[in-house]
Amino acid sequence: MSAAISTGARTRAARTDVAGELLALLNDATTEPRSDIQLEALTLAVAADLPVLLWGEPGIGKTAALTQLAESLDLPLTTVIASVHEPSDFSGLPVVGDDPAAQGVPLAPPDWAVRLVRAGRGLLFLDELSTAPPAVQAALLRLVLERRIGALQLPAGVRIVAAANPRSSAADGWELSPPLANRFVHLMWTHDPDVVIRGLGGVWPRVSLPTLDPEKLPEAVAFARRAVCVLLAARPALVHRLPSGEARRGGAWPSPRSWEMALRLIAFATAAGAGRDVVSLLVRGTVGDGPGFELLTGMDRMELPDPERLLADPDSAELPGRGDLRQAVLDGVVAAVRGRPEKARWDAAWALLAKAVETGAPDLVVVPATTLATLRRDDWEVPASIEHLAAMVSVSRTADHAAVPAPARAGR
C-alpha cells in the first residue's frame, strides 16, 4: 500500500513539474524599444517625482504596465489595494507606550512602509483608488503629498503611482475628493491593440527613464517658467478654478499646486526632448483640458521663429510643419513688414511666401500674400516670386492695383 501511495505521489509531482514548466514558458517574454506616448508620459512624471494616477477601464493592463515599469527601472514594487485598508493604515496605527501622558502615543507605520524605508527606493502602487471610501482618501492626502505615514518619512527614492477605474465601471466606486485629485498627474490609460497582440506573442514594449540633456537644464527651466507665467499673467482667472461638477473635481483642474506640477513636467519634457503629444498628455493631466490647451498654444507660439530673423535670411529659413503654426509665422512676417515697410523686407517676405507654397499647403499663403500685396509702394518692382505664386494665389493683379492708393498711404 505504501509503495502504491509513493508511486502516486511521484506521479502527481511529475505532473506538477510539467505544469510549472508550461507556465514558465507562457510567462517567458522579451521586450523591444517601441514608441508609446502613454508610457513615455508616465515615465517622465515618475522621473519628475510627481504622483501619477492612471485612469482606465478594468482589464486594460494598468497593473501590468506598473509591474513592467518597476522591472524596467529596477525598482522594487509595493502594491497596496487602497479600498481594503482602513484610514489608520495610512495615517498610522496608535501604539500606547509605558507612559502615554509623558511620551504621547506614537503612530506606527504599516509593514509595507517600513520595507520601503529599508530599501531606500521603490515604486508604491496604490491600486483601486476610486473604490476607496472618503475616509481612506482623506488619510491618503499626507501620504501622496508629503510621503509620510504616521511618524515615518518615505525616502526620496520612492515614487508613487495609483490606478483607478471610472466610477461607472468601478465596484462600489466613489468620486475622488478634490484635495486628493489635485495632488495627482492624471493620465487616461487606453490599450493599443498592436501592443497587446505583440505582447501576447511574447514581446512587450521596453520602458526606460528619459535621458535629460545636462546642457538644456537651465534653458528648460526658463522655458517652463516663462510658458506658465505668461499664460497666468494674461489669464489670472486660471490660477485657481475649482470645477462645479463633482465628477470633474475628481480629475485634473488648475490650482497653484497643479500649475507648479505642470511647470516641472514641462521642464523635464523640454530637457528630455519629448514630443508634443507627450507634453500634451502631461499638461492636460495636471491642469485640465481647457487650461492645458491654452498653455500648449502659448508654448507653441513661444517656439515660433522670430520674423525679423526670417526676413534677414529667407533662403535658409525653416518654417513650421504644422499648418496653424506656419500660418502664425507668415502672419507675423507680414506684420513685421507693415511695421517697417522697406523694399528689401517686402521682397524677403515674398521669398518666404514662395518657400511656404513649395513646402506646404498653398491655401495658407492666400491671406498673408493678399495683405502683403497691399503694402507695395508705387516705385517697388513686383518680384519674380509673385509670378511663381500666381498659379496658386492670384496676387499679381492685387499688387498692381495696390499701387494706386500707395501715395496716400505713404503720406500718412
Please give the helix or strand (H or E) that residue 124 lies within, else none: strand 121-127
Cell numbers found for residue 227: 510658458
157-172 b/e (C-beta count within 10 Å ≥ 16 → b) = ebbbbbbbbbbeebee
d(CA 259, CA 265): 10
Question: Which range has highest mean pLDDT (48-52, 59-63, 83-87, 89-93)?
Answer: 48-52
Residues in the chain, how many?
A: 412
Cα–Cα separations (whole angstroms), residue 113 to 79, 96, 110, 116, 407: 11, 20, 6, 5, 80
pLDDT exceeds cutoff 60 at 391: no
pLDDT exceeds cutoff 70 at 385: no
The predicted model gives 114-126 an average pLDDT of 92
Q: Are 394 and 358 in contact (CB under 8 A)?
A: no
Cell numbers found for residue 388: 511663381
Q: Are 352 and 369 in contact (CB under 8 A)?
A: no
Q: Is 29 helix (H, G, I), strand (E, B) or coil?
A: coil
User: What pLDDT is stored for residue 412 in this prediction?
Assistant: 46
- For residues 46 and 58, which has the higher predicted lDDT (pLDDT)? 46
Residue 403: which residues within 8 A CB-CB, separation 6 or more?
A: 376, 377, 378
Place 409 in a pLDDT band, splitting at 50, 70 and 90: very low
The number of angstroms, rounded, from the C-alpha of 114 to the middle of its chain's C-alpha atoms is 32
The predicted model gives 82-96 an average pLDDT of 80
CA angle, corner 254, sides to 253 and 256, nearest 5? 140
175-196 b/e (C-beta count within 10 Å ≥ 16 → b) = bbbbbbbbbbbbbebeebeebe
User: What pLDDT is stored for residue 396 in this prediction?
Assistant: 41
Please give the helix or strand (H or E) that residue 52 lies within, else none: strand 52-55
**Among all chains, which residue has been given the C-alpha cell 505521489?**
9
Q: Is 123 helix (H, G, I), strand (E, B) or coil?
A: strand
User: What pLDDT is stored for residue 288 in this prediction?
Assistant: 95
Of 330, 262, 261, 331, whose CA–CA distance to 294 is shortest?
262
User: What pLDDT is stored for residue 184 in this prediction?
Assistant: 96
d(CA 125, CA 131): 15
Q: Is 254 helix (H, G, I), strand (E, B) or coil?
A: coil
**Percent of all residues in the chain with a pLDDT value above 70, rounded to a whole number:** 86
Instruction: Give pTM, 2 decimals.
Output: 0.75
The predicted model gives 43-56 an average pLDDT of 93
d(CA 258, CA 265): 10
User: What pLDDT is stored for residue 388 in this prediction?
Assistant: 64
pLDDT exceeds cutoff 70 at 316: yes
User: What pLDDT is stored for residue 181 in this prediction?
Assistant: 93
Place 285 in a pLDDT band, splitting at 50, 70 and 90: very high
Q: Could you tell me how many helices (H) and strands (E) the chain has, helices first?
A: 21, 11
Cell numbers found for residue 357: 507654397
User: What pLDDT is stored for residue 390 in this prediction?
Assistant: 62
pLDDT exceeds cutoff 90 at 259: yes
Over the stretch 163-222, which tens digit does the pLDDT of each residue have?
Answer: 988 866 655 667 888 999 999 999 998 888 888 888 888 887 777 778 898 999 999 999
Place 376 in a pLDDT band, splitting at 50, 70 and 90: confident
User: What pLDDT is stored for residue 170 in this prediction?
Assistant: 57
Alpha helices in 62-204 (DSSP H): 62-72, 88-91, 100-103, 111-119, 134-146, 178-181, 193-200
- For residues 2 and 348, which has the higher predicted lDDT (pLDDT)? 348
- For residues 284 and 2, which has the higher predicted lDDT (pLDDT)? 284
Q: Are 84 and 304 in contact (CB under 8 A)?
A: no
What does the mean pLDDT of the chain come to?
83
The predicted model gives 68-84 an average pLDDT of 86
User: What pLDDT is stored for residue 410 in this prediction?
Assistant: 46
The residues pairing with 80 across neighbouring beta strands, listed in sequence order, are 126
Of 312, 310, 279, whose CA–CA distance to 185 is shortest?
279
The predicted model gives 316-324 an average pLDDT of 82
The predicted model gives 385-397 an average pLDDT of 58
User: What's at 353, amino acid-wise?
Assistant: L
The predicted model gives 383-393 an average pLDDT of 65
